[in-house]
């Protein structure tokens, strides 16, 4: 464990590396507890680095065995080695080969950073700072080197040996039970992209022919017996490779591309060059075990990691402050891929829902930070929704501002200029500015200013002149370290909808508005639209063109009108959601829900509209979640009151629309064999939404319908949704169904995760005790991140009434788990603690209880830097 009070690192302190590594030859002799790592670094003084600087290499908990310079062993005072650092105060020359031997214990590595074991296989995770847990190295992303890796292991224990790049040699080690493989990666890369895998794994194989005729061998490695579950991932990989050639002109650049699925993994997946390592949750799927959300998650994550080959690997980040350079851009790319493969509006709605749930809440609380932070204590804690999801929104806005052709020209220039380099956000933005001739300096504030801008909009209709004036004011609320902000450049897509439901012409001073986008750049601004026949209803921020909170003077009647007529599907969705949100806010504040007629009418029209696809209807009619209502209320939130308002509204909708939901439930029944495609998934989503509303009263009929679906389902989506409906009702069918589900899937850890999650989400006082019992269940393990997330993580993140119990027991429980987990896996512990990011919006009693729990964590001696950082900032 490192120093518990790590120093803050500032972007402004960046200095180029003093030493470069031209090439590195690694030799791993794998052993469960004593893996020997020999590293030969061809070091060269960086002409751009500090003059006469010593060689200082990073380490983390390392044991040095041997050190040699140009083949001569070194001793004593010529170097200084601590577990965390290797220093050569007086390097012998400006270029030399440093040979380092270390011993590491993969079995004892419960942090899952560096080299570790999972299901008795060997595997590595090096981003961001895991390589220094393997050997001493300048472990920073701007040191790019050519890696050759020899891996040796017992052949019976690890018949499969994988590394980055292409396989150049393999064979047996004479006179032993061991064998080896040598992998060479010709593309210079930083150490965080290093990977190796050794173990007993089954392979599914395929191939891909690139546009220029390179035959690429594709492999997905899984546990034996699970080969059949990797087919969808392989299909998604091939589609991703084709799409990147078509949409971005990017081809794959090695002879092999391998993916390995492992069951113990801190994150979703990792884009190591030519050897992606995946959480098996994002590889394995069959209709029986995976939901539609799992299928789309696999498609998205496979694409994301593959796309990193160009945005992240070929062009990498200069330092970790630039994390959004690779992540925001690559999330944007995977979102675009899924939009092309599926329904674009539905994908956009799902992405915005996720953005608001995770990122807008982050922006509103003590953990708010810019898309590109300027300071950090623990970089592990910046793999956030702001860096990823808001980072993607910033790239999307760039495309909206520059148009399709301008955006592509900027991307092409970025690839041309920076291929093989470690780049910055400034490099990225400059590529677009130079390709299009546009000044993007104000736009770049999106990377520097944290907080969600609030756009306040009102309209004035002048019948005589045929004009409509839109007055827009923008404000970015204060966030930690940023009390005042400058006005941002906000692309506002809009339409003016006429009384007939059609868009009226959009012109400013008789000049047509290009692409329907106006640019808001000042604190206060007016736009005068001309040439109108009738008072329009404005449809604002179409397609969610900017990640802002929009406050408008639209009435409920305007929203009902937009929900029925808006040409922009996103805003049709948003209109109905906004009606529901306003009602829920009032309901939560006053304890009584306003009249529901308008919402019911709008919902009925959407259900009956045959021009809309089922997936869209399911999104539009799913009521805003408790988290979204809480975020909108922003202060003195009583989660029980939010829950009660939402329950009342669900009852009102379910009752008023019972007939329509019953018709929909029957109409959306499957007509053929299961298929995970978007259209079939949409039908299931709408049918399952209907099932939920039909059971909302807890009537015997509704429960019986859910039970029947649970028992007859031929796929996981239908089965788990029916089970979810049953678990939210206090009925005898609940426990019986939970037991039946467990019995059916007890051998399948990923499915049992769903079983944990459903129980963690029950909004009832008994849930906390249920979770404590489940933690003792043989299927649960605190050592496996997926288990922790599915039970304790789901409780903290998605069960607001029980996590925020008024007696404080929920808060106390979660922080106790954080403290226990911190000694094993600080990264997962810190993420769990980050569930407290919204505690300031709670009403005083719950806020005090959360603060008490956080304080107890902060005052615990020996915390990891990860957990200490979150606790300190949350209390801030
Ligand atoms: Zn990524």
DSSP line for 644-705: HHHHHHHHHHHHHTHHHHHHHHHHTS--SS---SHHHHHHHHHHHHHHHHHTTT--HHHHHH
pLDDT at 693 over 70: yes
Q: Is 96 helix (H, G, I), strand (E, B) or coil?
A: strand
Cα separations in angstroms, 55 against 19, 52, 438, 699 = 7, 9, 43, 73
351, two tokens: 């992405």
pLDDT at 857 over 50: yes
- Percent of the chain predicted with pLDDT > 70: 99
Q: What is the whole-number distance in angstroms between the Cα of residue 25 and the centre of ligand 1? A: 27
Cβ atoms 280, 263 nearer than 8 A = yes
Q: Report CA Rg, the chain.
A: 28
pLDDT at 656 over 90: yes
pLDDT confidence bin for 185, thresholds 50/70/90: very high
Longest pairwise C-alpha distance within the chain = 97
Q: What is the whole-number distance in angstroms between the Cα of residue 23 and the centre of ligand 1? A: 25
- b/e string for 505-515 if b means 16 or more Cβ within 10 A? ebeeeeeebee
31 phi/psi in degrees, rounded to 5: -150, 140
Q: How many CA atoms lie within 13 A of 171 on its CB side?
A: 5
The reported pLDDT for the residue numbered 1 is 39
pLDDT at 703 over 80: yes
The reported pLDDT for the residue numbered 620 is 98
Q: What is the 3-state secondary structure (H, E, C) of 449-481?
A: CCCCCEEEEEEEEECCCCEEEEEEEEECCCECC
- In this structure, the number of other CB atoms found within 10 A of the CB of residue 805 comes to 20
- In this structure, the number of other CB atoms found within 10 A of the CB of residue 339 comes to 15
Q: What is the whole-number distance in angstroms between the Cα of residue 324 and the centre of ligand 1? A: 9
pLDDT at 183 over 50: yes
Say which residues have a Cβ less than 8 Å from residue 709's Cβ, sequence separation at least 6. 691, 718, 719, 721, 722
Residue-by-residue DSSP string for 348-379: HHHHHHHHIIIIIHHHHSTT---SS-SEES-G
Mean pLDDT computed over 701-716? 98
Q: What is the whole-number distance in angstroms between the Cα of residue 331 and the centre of ligand 1? A: 7
Triad 252, 164, 299: Cα angle to 5°: 55
C-alpha torsion angle, residues 852, 855, 861, 867 (rounded to 10): 110
Give the ranges where 823-858 is alpha helix by DSSP (H).
826-833, 844-858
pLDDT at 2 over 60: no
pLDDT confidence bin for 387, thresholds 50/70/90: very high
Q: What's the length of the chain?
A: 876
Say which residues have a Cβ less than 8 Å from residue 3's Cβ, sequence separation at least 6. 865
pLDDT confidence bin for 3, thresholds 50/70/90: very low
The reported pLDDT for the residue numbered 7 is 85
The residue ranges of DSSP E strands in 298-434, in sequence order, are 316-317, 375-376, 422-423
pLDDT by residue (tens digit) across 415-426? 999 999 999 999
Say which residues have a Cβ less than 8 Å from residue 840's Cβ, sequence separation at least 6. 365, 366, 847
Cβ atoms 317, 351 nearer than 8 A = no
* Bridge partner list, 788: none
pLDDT by residue (tens digit) across 217-270? 999 999 999 999 999 999 999 999 999 999 999 999 999 999 999 999 999 999
Give the ranges where 527-657 is alpha helix by DSSP (H).
556-565, 569-590, 597-608, 614-621, 626-633, 639-656
Say which residues have a Cβ less than 8 Å from residue 592's Cβ, sequence separation at least 6. none
CA distance linking residue 463 with residue 481, whole number of Å: 47
CA distance linking residue 720 with residue 64, whole number of Å: 51
Mean of all residue pLDDT scores within the chain: 97
Give the ranges where 200-230 is alpha helix by DSSP (H).
none
pLDDT confidence bin for 76, thresholds 50/70/90: confident
121 phi/psi in degrees, rounded to 5: -95, 160
The reported pLDDT for the residue numbered 75 is 84
The reported pLDDT for the residue numbered 74 is 92
Mean pLDDT computed over 702-710? 98
861, two tokens: 């001696």
Q: What is the whole-number distance in angstroms between the Cα of residue 360 and the centre of ligand 1? A: 20
Query: Residue 761 burial by CB count (10 A; 0-12/13-18/19+): exposed, middle or buried?
Result: middle
Mean pLDDT computed over 779-802? 98
CA distance linking residue 48 with residue 173, whole number of Å: 43
Cβ atoms 260, 275 nearer than 8 A = yes
pLDDT by residue (tens digit) across 512-539? 998 999 999 999 999 999 999 999 999 9
Q: What is the whole-number distance in angstroms between the Cα of residue 190 and the centre of ligand 1? A: 15
Q: What stretch of H or E contains 197?
A: strand 196-199
Q: What is the 3-state secondary structure (H, E, C) of 484-544?
A: CCCCCCEEEEEEEECCCCCEECCEECCEECHHHEEEECCCEEEEEECCCCCCCEEEECHHH
Cβ atoms 173, 181 nearer than 8 A = no
pLDDT by residue (tens digit) across 734-751? 999 999 999 999 999 999
Q: Look-up: residue for tokens 């490192």?
A: 2
Q: What is the whole-number distance in angstroms between the Cα of residue 178 and the centre of ligand 1? A: 35
Smallest CA-to-CA distance from 253 within 295, 211, 221, 283 is with 211
Smallest CA-to-CA distance from 359 within 291, 453, 281, 293 is with 453
Q: What is the whole-number distance in angstroms between the Cα of residue 831 and the centre of ligand 1? A: 17
The reported pLDDT for the residue numbered 5 is 63
- b/e string for 426-456 if b means 16 or more Cβ within 10 A? ebbbbbbbebbeeebeebbbbbebbbbbebe
Cβ atoms 673, 648 nearer than 8 A = no
541 phi/psi in degrees, rounded to 5: 55, 50
CA distance linking residue 612 with residue 664, whole number of Å: 13
Which are the catalytic amino acids? 305
């Amino acid at each position: 464990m490192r120093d518990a009070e790590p120093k803050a690192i500032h972007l402004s302190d960046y200095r180029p590396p003093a030493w470069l590594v031209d090439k590195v030859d690694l030799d791993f002799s794998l052993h469960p507890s004593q893996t020997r790592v020999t590293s030969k670094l061809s070091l060269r003084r960086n002409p751009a680095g500090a003059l006469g600087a010593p060689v200082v290499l990073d380490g983390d908990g390392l044991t040095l065995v041997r050190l040699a310079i140009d083949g001569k062993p070194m001793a004593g005072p010529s170097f200084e080695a601590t577990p965390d650092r290797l220093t050569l105060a007086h390097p012998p020359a400006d270029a030399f080969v440093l040979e380092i031997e270390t011993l590491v214990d993969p079995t004892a590595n419960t942090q899952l950073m560096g080299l570790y074991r999972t299901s008795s296989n060997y595997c590595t995770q090096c981003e961001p700072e895991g390589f220094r847990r393997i050997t001493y190295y300048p472990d920073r992303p701007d040191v790019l080197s050519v890696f050759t890796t020899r891996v040796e292991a017992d052949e019976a224990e690890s018949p499969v040996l994988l590394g980055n790049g292409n396989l150049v040699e393999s064979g047996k080690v004479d006179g032993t039970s061991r064998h080896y493989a040598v992998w060479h990666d010709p593309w210079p890369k930083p150490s965080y992209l290093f990977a190796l895998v050794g173990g007993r794994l089954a392979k599914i194989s395929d191939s891909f022919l690139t546009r220029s005729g390179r035959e690429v061998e594709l492999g997905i490695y899984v546990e034996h017996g699970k080969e059949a579950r990797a087919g969808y991932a392989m299909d998604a990989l091939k589609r991703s490779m084709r799409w990147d050639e078509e949409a971005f002109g990017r081809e794959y650049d090695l002879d092999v591309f391998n993916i390995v699925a492992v069951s113990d993994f801190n994150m979703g997946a990792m884009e190591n060059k030519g050897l992606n390592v995946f959480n098996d949750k994002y590889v394995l799927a069959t209709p029986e075990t995976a939901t539609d959300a799992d299928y789309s998650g696999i498609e998205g994550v496979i694409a994301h990691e593959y796309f990193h080959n160009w945005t992240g690997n070929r062009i990498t980040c200069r330092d970790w402050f630039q994390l959004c350079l690779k992540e925001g851009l690559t999330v944007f790319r995977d979102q675009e891929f899924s939009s092309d493969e599926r329904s674009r509006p539905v994908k956009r709605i799902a992405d915005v829902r996720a953005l608001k749930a995770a990122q807008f809440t982050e922006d509103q609380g003590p953990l708010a930070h810019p898309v590109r932070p300027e300071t950090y204590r623990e970089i592990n804690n910046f793999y956030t929704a702001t860096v990823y999801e808001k980072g993607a929104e910033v790239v999307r806005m760039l495309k909206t501002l520059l148009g399709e052709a301008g955006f592509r020209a900027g991307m092409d220039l970025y690839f041309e200029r920076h291929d093989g380099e470690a780049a910055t956000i400034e490099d990225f933005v400059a590529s677009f500015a130079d390709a299009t001739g546009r000044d993007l300096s104000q736009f770049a504030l999106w990377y520097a200013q944290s907080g969600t801008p609030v756009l306040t909009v009102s309209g004035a209709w002048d019948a005589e002149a045929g004009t409509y004036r839109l007055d827009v004011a923008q404000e970015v609320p204060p966030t930690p370290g940023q009390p005042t902000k400058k006005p941002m450049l906000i692309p506002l897509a809009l339409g003016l909808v006429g009384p007939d439901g059609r868009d009226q012409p959009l012109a400013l001073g008789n000049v047509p508005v290009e692409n329907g986008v106006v640019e808001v750049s000042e604190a206060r601004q007016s736009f005068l639209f001309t040439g109108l026949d009738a008072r329009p209803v404005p449809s604002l921020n179409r397609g969610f063109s900017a990640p802002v909170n929009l406050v408008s003077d639209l009435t409920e009647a305007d929203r009902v009108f937009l929900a029925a007529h808006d040409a922009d599907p996103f805003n049709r969705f948003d209109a109905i959601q906004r009606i529901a949100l306003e009602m829920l806010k009032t309901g939560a504040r006053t304890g009584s829900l306003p009249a529901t007629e308008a919402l019911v009418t709008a919902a009925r029209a959407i259900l009956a509209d045959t021009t809309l696809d089922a997936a869209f209807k399911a999104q539009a009619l799913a009521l805003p979640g408790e988290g979204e209502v809480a975020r909108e209320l922003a202060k003195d939130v009583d989660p029980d009151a939010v829950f009660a308002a939402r329950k009342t509204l669900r009852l009102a909708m379910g009752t008023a629309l019972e007939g329509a939901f019953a018709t929909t439930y029957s109409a959306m029944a499957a007509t053929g064999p299961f298929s995970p495609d978007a259209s079939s998934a949409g039908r299931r989503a709408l049918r399952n939404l209907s099932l939920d509303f039909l059971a909302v009263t807890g009537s015997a009929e509704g429960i019986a319908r859910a039970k029947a679906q649970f028992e007859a389902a031929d796929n996981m989506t239908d089965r788990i949704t029916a089970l979810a409906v049953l678990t939210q009702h206090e009925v005898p069918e609940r426990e019986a169904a939970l037991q039946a589900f467990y019995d059916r899937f007890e051998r399948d850890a990923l499915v049992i995760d769903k079983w944990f999650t459903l129980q963690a989400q029950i909004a009832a006082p008994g849930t906390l005790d249920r979770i404590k019992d489940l933690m003792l269940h043989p299927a649960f393990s605190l050592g496996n991140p997926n288990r922790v997330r599915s039970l304790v993580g789901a409780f903290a993140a998605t069960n607001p009434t029980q996590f925020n119990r008024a007696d404080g027991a929920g808060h106390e429980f979660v922080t106790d788990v954080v403290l226990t987990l911190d000694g094993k896996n600080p990264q997962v512990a810190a993420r769990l603690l980050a569930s407290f990011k919204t505690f300031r919006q709670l009403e005083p009693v719950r806020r005090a209880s959360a603060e008490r729990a956080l304080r107890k964590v902060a005052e615990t001696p020996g915390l990891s830097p990860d957990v200490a950082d979150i606790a300190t900032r949350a209390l801030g």
